[in-house]
Structure 1
């Protein structure tokens, strides 16, 4: 019997968890390390998962739990700042006709679903652990860890997010760059009439929106021009978001009444990054936000990360050898799909920053989402 292949996955977010589950299913020995002791199990307010993300989650075997935890819907409303509904667009089912166009859910619940699946897969998980060195040759990678231990792997997958230390360690110099926008997010009780995402363009901010995340909850967000984060003390977060949200009507007054705890409000800049040329160096390869990130104007961040994991795992488990040609083919397959999404997401935000009056936002969204209906 041949020795099982061994993989180290760095990072326990969407991409890292998903690729771990898939590789373990194929019999690959996987160690997963995550820098945070809590495995990001409580961070975040809400997340919008488009159909192409749901397609991967179904492939991971967790779709039924996701459906039970979240709220599926097939339309997006466009409203005026006063709450008047201007248009309701049917969402494109990018995951196929048998999946909703969108599921909203609380981000910690999605993380818990994936954590449980990783645990059940039999992967060895080490929390509060980082890799301190990656020394590789043609046969594998020798890794040392922050606790002083070391191990050797056939492949290392860097899925450690925007600030990826794996990316830096292998000499890829790309870094996230701010786009000029920032977002306030909060989880709140869901008004009875909210059954879909509603978006408002204009008013006190560039965008104000909300998405249901369960039968009783939603997450709301307001997008504005990026401000110096140092100038906004965390204890003022609720006041700042509430000030912007008060300029909107419809369901917003009911939502705004619950924006009271600054610890539950998140403020984040929009970033962009796309590693081009290759996502690997030797036997270390990137996936998810470590390789690309974009503003959430198309709600595709998690979806693209999950797709990376799906494609990489399928290519690794079907290839007789893990060589440069295979990892190059992974990059070429993904860049053709990821690049248009990153560019479209950034362009939509830039149109708003520029105040472009002739911008074809619906057309660009439609073309991009139609492309994503094809399997990755």
Structure 2
């Protein structure tokens, strides 16, 4: 890529931050805007990062900070509702044998690490700003910003998440659809002895699980059938999650006693979406949740978003011509990898909703994670 380029990235989450860092490393002039005034607001309680996510974070140059801030582990336990461990198995190292299979960390910590790296990269960052695409042609995109300024860019990358307004504005009609499940999440102190993710199946919920996120913290979650969110007042969130979690034994009683502040409990429906055909219109390209989303049953949401950024940057920096054929190449390379993950993530949840007792969940998980060991 010999010609100087200017790129606008809309959205400062994992995908937007990652593509900004990678393009800046390649010498591209990047402007990043984020609609929130507080870049790290509502970043969530915790996140499970599989090896293929860690592989991209290493490419971003932030692996050492992630390793120091998070909690690495290599197995998952299956327990009965009373806490009895029924089975423990090693996780597949989807990022390669030189990285942990999994790292759990506090989601705000990951965002902080990425924010600091973006600021250090020399990218232009504006917060509390949104964008409207006013025109585009074969050479670039004209944009008007909510602060009254305007700009012209060689490419716009829409990383503005599940409810992407950019996706809708460029005529892509795909929207997230609920799968029928919902999840309660909370951050809590880590009980002594919690060294991995444990998942309890059965009881009043489909799954009750937790993931260590540092030497002293974890995040816990309970998955149930989705309910009308309007029927659950936010001030009751702690009571509702505590009611469900109190049915579980093992480490759960110690975790449950910390579920007291409703403002620290998050309730979210599981959604699915996969944009078909292409992830671009002209010189506006989708990455991350703006292009696809899936339930966290395989913990691949952030990983797929980070991979999008990595692959798109490779394709952009490897060509002097940015055109429909190049952007379609990005789509075709990603769809072959993203589709099976979305479908497997949805299928695992559907088996639970349907009460299928002989479902081959370990087999489907194993096949999918083995596929993810390959470079994207």
The question of a shared fold, defined as TM-score above 0.5 by the shorter chain, is answered with: yes
**Partner in structure 2 of residue 97 of structure 1:** 97
User: Quick check: 1:142–1:153 contact (8 Å CA) kept in 2?
Assistant: yes
User: 2:137 — aligned with what?
Assistant: 137
Deviations 1:259-309 (A, max 9, x none): 000000000000000001000000000000000000000000000000000
Match of 2:72 in 1: 72
In the TM superposition, 1:346-357 aligns within 5 A as: 346-357=346-357
Instruction: Tell me which residue corresponds to 1:33.
Output: 33
Q: CA-to-partner distance for each residue in 1:23-53, whole Å, 9 max, x for gaps?
A: 0001100000000011134520000000000
In structure 2, the partner of 1:287 is 287
Give the drift of 1:13. 0.4
Q: Is 1:197 the counterpart of 2:200 in the alignment?
A: no
In structure 1, what is the equivalent of residue 302 of structure 2? 302
Is residue 2:369 matched to residue 1:369?
yes
User: What RMSD, in angstroms, separates the aligned Cα atoms of the two structures?
Assistant: 1.0
Q: Which residue of 2 aligns with 1:174?
A: 174
What's 2:22 paired with? 22
TM-superposed CA distance for 1:317, in Å, is 0.8
Counterpart residue number, 2:128: 128
The one-character-per-residue Cα deviations of 1:136-185 (angstroms, maximum 9, x if unpaired) are: 01110000010111000000000100000110010000000000000000
Matched, 1:119 2:125: no
Unaligned runs of 5+ in 2: none
Q: Measure the CA separation in 2 of the matches of 1:241 and 1:368.
A: 31
Per the alignment, residue 323 of structure 1 pairs with 323
Contact 2:9 2:158 in 1 (8 A): yes
| Distance (whole Å) between structure 1 residues aligned to residue 246 and residue 360 of structure 2 | 28
Corresponding residue of 2:153 = 153
Contact 2:40–2:112 (Cα < 8 Å) also in 1: no
Q: For residues 176-216 of structure 1, what are the alpha-carbon distances to aligned partners after superposition, in whole Å with 9 as ceiling and x for unaligned?
A: 00000000000000001100000011111000000000000
Q: Are the aligned partners of 2:3 and 2:320 in contact in 1 as well (CA < 8 Å)? A: no
Offset at 1:318? 1.1
Query: Cα distance, 1:4 vs. partner?
Result: 1.8
Deviations 1:318-366 (A, max 9, x none): 1111111110000000000000000000000000000011210000000
Residues 227-282 of structure 1, C-alpha deviations (whole Å, 9 max, x = no match): 00011000000000000000000000000000000000000000000001000000
Q: Distance in 1 between matches of 2:334 and 2:43?
A: 28
Match in the other structure for 2:276: 276
Q: Indicate conservation of the 8 Å contact 2:43/2:111, yes or no.
A: no
Q: Do the aligned residues in 2 keep the contact of 1:41 with 1:112 (CA within 8 Å)?
A: no
Map of 2:164 onto structure 1? 164
Q: Contact 1:134 / 1:169 at 8 angstroms: preserved in 2?
A: no
- Deviation for aligned residue 1:128: 0.4
2:51: which partner in 1? Answer: 51
- Counterpart CA distance in 1 for 2:49 and 2:91 is 12
The list of structure 1 runs, each at least 4 consecutive aligned residues, that deviate by more than 6 angstroms after superposition, is: none
Which SS does the other structure have where 1:373 is aligned?
Answer: coil
1:311 corresponds to: 311
CA shift, 1:134, in A, is: 3.7
User: Offset of 1:133 from its aligned partner?
Assistant: 2.8
Q: What is the TM-score normalised by the length of structure 1? A: 0.99
> Unpaired runs of 5+ in structure 1?
none
Answer yes or no: is 1:60 the counterpart of 2:60: yes
Q: What is the total number of aligned residue pairs between the two structures? A: 376
